[in-house]
Amino acid sequence: MKKTNLSSKTILASGILLLALLGACKKDGLESKELLVYAKGEYGSTNNSVVAALTQTPVAVWGNMSFDIPVYATREVAADVDVYMEPNSSLVAQFNRDNGKKALLLPTLAYQINSNRHKIPAGSTVSDPMTVQIINAASLTDTNGYVLPLTITKVEGQDKGVRVSTTRATTYLYVPYNYTNVDTTQVPLAGATMSRTGWAVMVSNTTSGALGPAMLDGSNTTAWRSSNSTTAAKWVVLNMGSQQTIKGFKLVPNYVATAENPTQMTVSTSNDNINWMVQGIWKGTGPASSSSATSPDFKGVNFLVPVKAQYFRFDITALVSGGRVGIGELYAIQ
């Protein structure tokens, strides 16, 4: 009798174990022991995307135009596996919903794909890549950006049981819109220095004895210096008095305190001091240690294409160190 009860318990336990194993086989998680083929984004991506970080400028488009997108297997394949990947316009809305975007479908005339069929060779977990090339980047001017969902549609191979993951079948090539009219060089442009008669400046905040007009006083030994707050905004608005066409600006660093100099600024323009157009982000460095007020390390904020405006705004978003920032002198190049 005891032997019969033991056998019943053994049978019951075996049945529970069998059911658990069958349930595990139905899982589509990438930790499954099944052979799944799946897509993934670039390293660090949280939304299975590859970002095409292109920058539109008035004269060209900067950035990488070619993107290699492989597919993966959850384990080494015993035999070659052919994987088919296709653009999938139906997932644009899902991408936008999941990421809080309003991206448009990347137009077919803006890209080309080398092949829709790719191979994971025997003994490997990675396929040869699908190469997507942006061929008409200058046309991608919608400020909402663009996205191209690429979905694994089919797999074929002799490795039994291989199938497409139902949760990780798509990679998104995302093309955000970035524009700049600010050059990457900080060497001042050649040209005539504009008269500063009639100019006025407004600043976000100041340090006593180092007010905004110090940027226009003709002395390299004085400077506008902001407050020492690490959280308060730091900005300068220049009013030229009337619309002027300029190629860029030449700045004398703040030699009152050389650590208090900008290294990044968003540059915007306006004709009414209300409606602003962002021209781009300037990135530079603090003054060279060998420079001085008598031999300054001039910094150029240069436009790729000359700009016509009355107001110019510099929002300082990074500085050499500390919480205070300043500018010694501000000139314009025509």
Final residue of a domain: which of 111, 140, 175? Answer: 175
Which domain covers residue 105, as residue numbers? 32-175
In this prediction the pTM is 0.82
pLDDT at 240 over 90: yes
CB-CB contact of 311 with 199 (8 Å): no
Q: Are residues 146 and 207 in the same domain?
A: no
What total number of domains does the chain contain?
2
User: What proportion of the chain, given as a percentage, has pLDDT over 70?
Assistant: 90
pLDDT at 142: 97
**Residue-averaged pLDDT of the chain:** 92
Q: What is the pLDDT of residue 29?
A: 52
pLDDT of 34 reads 83
Q: Spell out the alpha helix ranges (H) of the chain.
A: 2-25, 92-99
Q: Which residues are CB-neighbours of 150 under 8 A, at least 6 positions away?
A: 39, 69, 85, 86, 87, 88, 130, 132, 170, 171, 172, 173
Question: Is residue 134 domain-resident?
Answer: yes
Q: What CATH number does the domain containing 309 carry?
A: 2.60.120.260
With respect to residue 186, please indicate whether it lies within any of the assigned structural domains. no
Model pLDDT, residue 26: 47
Residue 115: CA count within 13 A, CB half-sphere: 10
Query: With bands split at pLDDT 50, 70 and 90, how would you rate the model's confidence at 24?
Result: very low
285 and 218 both lie in a single domain = yes
